[in-house]
Structure 1
Amino acid sequence: MKAAQISRQHLVSQVLLKQFTMPGPKGSGWQLLPFDVCNPERRSKLKSPRACGWAEDFVAFDSASAEELWGSVETRAPAALAAVQAGTPFADPSHVEALRDLVVLHYVRSHRYRGVYTNAFETASVNLRSELVRQFPEPLRREALRQTGLHLADPGSLRVFAERLIKQSEVTHDFGSGKLFRTSIENMFDKVRAMAAKWNLEVLTPESGQFLVGDNPGVSVRTDTTPFSYNMAFGDAHSIILPVSPRHLLALGPKNMLGNIPRPLVNEINAIQILAADHYVYMHPRSGLETFAKAKARKRETDRVNR
């Protein structure tokens, strides 16, 4: 029997979000503070990890397949994150693998990847229409005559008919149903995980302050610019960073290491999480980061308006 479609799909793993929580008022369970970076003046209210970091029908076709793949990473995360909290992430090689996979999961399973995928498909469709008209005008005219009974003489009419053919294609149908996206994101996860297996893991702790985490939390960065540039392709990045608690950041790097980072770099990483977010960042309720997040979110919105 085929598994049911899962509508509410977490892009930020609940096991990760729980690291940013504290016990709420009596009977309310563990809670964290979500902050709306698109509406920085909106009052923030505490929520549970279950209520945060999800998207409706992110994988809209056969989501059970993708959830099974994500689950193969998330079921190994609690023990590995406990080792991070204990300061012993490298004592067990399986923990390093689990943590590295957690970084990859949050890099690929993201609003950012869906945007890249959608833009790539739309660009390819436009290019294909132009190529069909340029390279195959006569077959297009014959097919138009067969389907419509019309003789299409001018290039404009041929472009319209080529677009119609593309919309009728199986690939476009699979794009619309979400089948193509599910296949694409699963394949991308496997591809990036294989590339990331050649990297090691850095576990970094703030000398002071805390990390927050965004709803696009696994962010690619280059460290040869000031401030760091971010959201480039995996192969162009110097690292992928992922906050996994207020006091711990995972980063892909050249060697396994525990390290401390100064407050200015903590602030820069938090700013990247805010700038890279789709809609929300999440923080420990007592982190004191809401004022910082509000200032960065205001600047983000101002910069977008002025572009």
Structure 2
Amino acid sequence: MKVAQISQQHLVSQVLLKQFTMAEPDDRGPQVRPVDVCYPERSNKLKSTRACGWSEAFVAYESASAEDLWSSVERRAPAAFEAVHAGTPFSDPLHVETLRDLIVLHYVRSHRYRNVYTNAFETVRVKVRSEVVGRFPEPLRHEAFRQTGLHLTGERALHAFAERLVEQSETTRDFGTGALFRTSIEHMFNKVRAMASNWHLEVLTPESGQFLVGDNPAVTVRTDTRPWAYNMAIGDAHSVVLPITPRHLLALGTKNIVSTIPRDLMDQINTVQVLAADRYVYMHPGSRRLEAFARKTAKRWRPDRGSPYPASSASRSKRS
């Protein structure tokens, strides 16, 4: 039986977003407070987790296999979150594996990864076209005559026909349908999961204040700059950080620890969430100070302020 394609696909797991909610008295269900980092002055109403952190047809081709892969992690999250709240995240190795997998899931299933994938494909497509023209001009002319009956002479005509061949290729067709992206993101999840298994897990709590979470929530960081550099390749990062509740952050590190961090370090982590966000950050509805912090940070640091489409992270930092 063919499974229906899911249109609105959550990039931020609802099970994670629900950790940041407060049940409203009018029975609307758990709500979070969003802040639009592109329009930080704009007032945003409280929203349900279902209405937040999703993308239209993120995996556009036969998404069921990807959804099964994501759910294999997400269905284990509630028990792991309970252990975090109880202060015993390392009591069961399965909890550690689940929390580490949550970091990987949100690192890969992200606006950031889709942008990296799209940019990489476009770069390769241009490179292939140029190499075909440079290395095989005569076979290209013969194929052009076979297909069109035209004798191509100038280099511009050769490039145009090479582009036509690239567009006709199975790889380009799979790119257009989304089949290539689905294969790529599933492969990348398994690849990064294997890499992350060599790291340990840090569970961090701020001395005071709360974490917020962005719609690109798992972020690679380097801590030797201020503000921290972010969105570099995972092999170049000091850590990958993921807020999972207003009072808990997961980070890949060199040993398994539960620790408390000072307020200024929490502010650095929240700043990275604002900078790395595609469009929104989310927080507990009662976090008025945190809302003001997010708006102030977006006004100060976001180069895409006032635009409905954020500047690419490539213009803000090194990307993987």
TM over 0.5: yes
Give the superposition deviation at 1:29: 1.1
- Aligned counterparts of 1:116 and 1:300: Cα–Cα separation in 2: 22
Structure 1's 262 and 181: CA in aligned 2 closer, same or farther, altered over 3 A?
A: same
Worse-matched range after superposition: 26-35 or 129-138: 26-35
Q: Give the equivalent residue in structure 1 for 2:86.
A: 86
Structure 1's 226 and 119: CA in aligned 2 closer, same or farther, altered over 3 A?
A: same
Identical positions, percent? 69
Q: Match for 1:296: what amino acid?
A: T
Within 5 A, what are the aligned runs for 1:218-257? Answer: 218-257=218-257
Report Cα offsets for 1:262-304 as digits up to 9, x if no partner. Answer: 1111111101000000000000011121111111111234477
Give the superposition deviation at 1:227: 2.5
Q: Give the equivalent residue in structure 2 for 1:148.
A: 148
Structure 1's 12 and 299: CA in aligned 2 closer, same or farther, altered over 3 A?
A: same
Q: Give the equivalent residue in structure 2 for 1:20.
A: 20
Q: Give the equivalent residue in structure 1 for 2:292.
A: 291
Q: Give the equivalent residue in structure 2 for 1:10.
A: 10
The answer (yes or no) to whether the contact 2:220–2:230 under 8 Å persists in 1 is yes
- Aligned counterparts of 1:72 and 1:237: Cα–Cα separation in 2: 26
TM-score, scaled relative to structure 1: 0.98
Q: Give the equivalent residue in structure 2 for 1:217.
A: 217
The answer (yes or no) to whether the contact 2:39–2:305 under 8 Å persists in 1 is no
How many residues get paired?
Answer: 307
- Aligned counterparts of 1:253 and 1:265: Cα–Cα separation in 2: 16
Give the superposition deviation at 1:130: 0.5
- Aligned counterparts of 1:304 and 1:51: Cα–Cα separation in 2: 23
Q: Match for 2:292: what amino acid?
A: T
The answer (yes or no) to whether the contact 2:38–2:304 under 8 Å persists in 1 is no
| 1:183 paired to 2:151 | no
Report Cα offsets for 1:103-154 as digits up to 9, x if no partner. Answer: 0000000000000000000000001110000000011000000011110011
- Aligned counterparts of 1:234 and 1:183: Cα–Cα separation in 2: 20
Q: Match for 1:41: what amino acid?
A: E
TM-score, scaled relative to structure 2: 0.94
Worse-matched range after superposition: 284-293 or 130-139: 284-293
| 1:46 paired to 2:35 | no
- Aligned counterparts of 2:300 and 2:227: Cα–Cα separation in 1: 15
Give the superposition deviation at 1:186: 0.2
Q: Which runs of 5+ in 2 are unaligned?
A: 316-320
Within 5 A, what are the aligned runs for 1:79-228? Answer: 79-228=79-228
Report Cα offsets for 1:159-194 as digits up to 9, x if no partner. Answer: 000001001111000000000000000000000000
Q: Give the equivalent residue in structure 1 for 2:271.
A: 271
Q: Match for 2:138: what amino acid?
A: E
Q: Match for 1:234: what amino acid?
A: I
Q: Which runs of 5+ in 1 are unaligned?
A: none
Report Cα offsets for 1:186-231 as digits up to 9, x if no partner. Answer: 0000000001011110000000110000000000011222322110
